[in-house]
Amino acid sequence: MFLRLLGPALLFGLSPAQAQAVRLERVGDLARFQGVRANSLVGYGLVVGLPGTGDDNLAYTIQSMRSATSALGVQLPPGLNPALKNSAAVMITAELPPFAKPGQRIDITISALGRAKSLRGGTLLLAPLRGVDGATYALAQGNLTVGGFGAEGADGSRIVVNTPTSGRIPGGALVEREVPSPFASGDTLRLDLVSPSFATAEALANGINSQFGQPIARPLDAVSISIEAPGSAADRVRLAARIEGLEISPAAPPARVVVNARTGTVVIGGHVQVLPAAVAHGNLTVTVGENWRASQPAPFSRRGDTVVTPNSDVRAREDKARMALFAPGARLSDIVDAVNALGAAPGDLVAILEALKQAGALRAELVVI
């Protein structure tokens, strides 16, 4: 069964009756072990081999080219400033996965830093990738894969599809240094919930204790659960694997309405309810038309000039206001039926939901993104 609402898009969660059914989820989908995380890397590099779509004589691109050639034993004359249409200065970003070891490869993203028109067909020269501590953790190099393209005419007309100034190199960086992880140290392991919830933290700790037959887990707050851990790394891995595979019944998700004001998309959770309220909805449409009229003097007249005068046509149309009454405990289906009956568009629905929230009749969190 599909529910329909006038407008670009409206998505719905489960009905309250379905949401009340017992559901089991893996601990690995609900929480993450503290310290098992990716780390961001960033670097600066030079892309060469472009078909005339590079930076073209930018100062820092020339400086980068001088540094790159100098490292290879080639010294450019001091007064020579090459027009580097085939080169571009770029920024490189990547994520170093947890437990990544030297010799493994990671994907990288390259974005133009200057005024390059396209990176298609370019090759990234060897560039270091550094972490927030300034240390080099990977080296990047390779041929770019660019999804966008652009074309330009001699008269200055131009067409661009997607983003030709950004590309990727799958496996384009080689890991050179391992990031220390607290997973193998300390007396305890800590699980952090993806969505904070006191009830879920309690249920997760109880599920772990029931599985192992002893109280090794205890909730610290709405996010973290502390677990007694063995000393050896192999035993910690076995413990983490068993915990991630457990299935528990988490707390019901909070009642929430999420509205994307830019696209008109509205997501209503299944636990959203409305207290007794009456909603009236009407539209006022104002149309302004501008017409220009020429006023000329009489034929063969020696006096007077031809002038242009505006002729404005302003019209207002107000749709008949309609009212919907929400009974006590109105649920998702009642809200949808009422909105459809009012003929409200997504933009109007946002205003209705905000008005219900201000009136204290919407029992849900309203999030506008």
**pLDDT one-digit tens code per residue, 256-275:** 777 776 666 677 766 676 66
Q: Is the pLDDT of residue 7 over 60?
A: no
Residue 54: the pLDDT is 82
Summarize pLDDT for 140-158 with one digit per residue, the tens: 999 999 886 666 655 555 6
Instruction: Examine the pLDDT at 121 and tell me if it is beyond 70.
Output: yes
Quick one: which of 358, 361, 340 has its CA closest to 278? 361
- Residue 339 pLDDT grade (very low, low, confident, very high; cuts 50, 70, 90): low
Contact (CB, 8 A) for 108 and 130: no
Q: Tokens 């709405």: give the residue.
A: 222
Over residues 284-336, the pLDDT tens digits come to 444 555 566 767 776 766 666 777 676 656 565 555 555 555 565 556 566 66
Residue 6 clears pLDDT 50, i.e. is over it? no
- pTM check: above 0.75: no
The candidate with the shortest Cα–Cα distance to 331, out of 67, 49, 86, 14, is 14
CA distance 175 to 298: 88
Tokens matching residue 159: 């067409």
CATH number of 23-36+182-248: 3.30.1360
CB contact at 8 A, 206 and 250: no
Q: What is the pLDDT of residue 290?
A: 56
Mean pLDDT, to the nearest integer, of 162-179? 90
Helix and strand element counts for the chain (H, E): 7, 24
Is the pLDDT confidence value at 11 over 90? no
Cα 37 to Cα 183: distance, rounded to the nearest angstrom: 10
Q: What percent of the chain has a predicted confidence (pLDDT) above 70?
A: 64
Segments making up each domain of the chain, as ranges: 1-20+252-369, 23-36+182-248, 39-175
Residue 232 confidence (pLDDT): 85
Reading the block at residue 178, the tokens are 């391992």
* Ranges of H-type helices in the chain: 16-19, 27-30, 59-71, 198-212, 233-245, 332-342, 346-358
Yes or no: say if 17 and 79 are a contact pair by the CB < 8 Å rule: no
Q: Of 37, 59, 47, nearest to 109 (Cα)?
A: 47
Query: Is pLDDT above 70 for 24?
Result: yes
With CA atoms as reference, report the closest residue to 309 among 297, 298, 293: 293
Spatial neighbors of 73 by CB under 8 A, at least 6 apart, are: none
Greatest alpha-carbon pair distance for the chain in Å reads 111
Would you list the DSSP string of 243-276? HHH-EE-PPPPPPEEEEETTTTEEEE-TT-EE-S
Q: Between the CA of residue 129 and those of 123, 181, 191, 296, what are the distances in Å?
A: 16, 19, 30, 74
Q: What is the pLDDT confidence band of residue 369, given thresholds at 50, 70 and 90?
A: confident
16: confidence class by pLDDT, cuts 50, 70, 90: very low
Q: Tell me the CA distances in angstroms from 16 to 99, 329, 333, 350, 362, one per residue in order.
A: 42, 11, 10, 22, 15
More confident residue, 86 or 267: 86
- Helix (H/G/I), strand (E/B), else coil: 141: strand
Nearest to 258 by CA among 353, 337, 150: 353
* Mean pLDDT, range 73-80, rounded to an integer: 72
List all residues 6 or more positions away from 366 whose beta carbon is below 8 Å from its beta carbon.
256, 257, 259, 353, 354, 357
For the residues 67-85, what does the mean pLDDT come to?
Answer: 72
The amino acid occupying position 198 is F
At residue 67 the predicted structure's pLDDT band, cuts being 50, 70 and 90, is confident
